[in-house]
Amino acid sequence: MDYDAEGSHDGRPCPKCGSDRTISWHFSEGFDELECRACGYRSDAGELTALRRESGDLLRRDEEAPIPAPGRPLQA
Ligand SMILES: [Zn+2]
């Protein structure tokens, strides 16, 4: 699955330090994250990290082994 995010400078204030040097990440999955360039705040850093790791794994094994066919019936 593709994991796309687009960062934009929406000027949303950081909830932690109040700076407007923030980047809004708009994910194609339909949710937003807020990243602050001033203090390093992330609205959900843990989830982002997990998702990145997941997509990295997907990239590494982009070729999945085909499901083996069921065993051939033995002929008597
Ligand atoms: Zn901040």
Cα 36 to middle of ligand 1, angstroms? 5
Cα 27 to middle of ligand 1, angstroms? 21
Cα 43 to middle of ligand 1, angstroms? 10
Backbone angles phi, psi at 48, to 5 degrees: -60, -45
Is residue 17 in a domain? yes
What is the band of 74 on the pLDDT scale with cuts at 50, 70, 90?
A: confident
Global confidence as pTM = 0.50
pLDDT digits over 14-39, tens only?
Answer: 999 999 999 998 888 887 889 999 99
Residue 15: its pLDDT value, please?
A: 92
Q: Find the helix or strand (DSSP H, E) in which 51 lies.
A: helix 45-60
Number of structural domains in the chain: 1
CA 36, CA 22: separation in Å to the nearest integer?
A: 4
In this model, does residue 1 exceed pLDDT 60? no
- Segments forming the whole domain that contains residue 11: 5-60
**Residue pair 43/33 in contact by the 8 Å Cβ criterion:** yes
User: Could you identify the residue written with the tokens 């705040």?
Assistant: 41
Is residue 42 in a domain? yes
In this model, does residue 62 exceed pLDDT 70? no
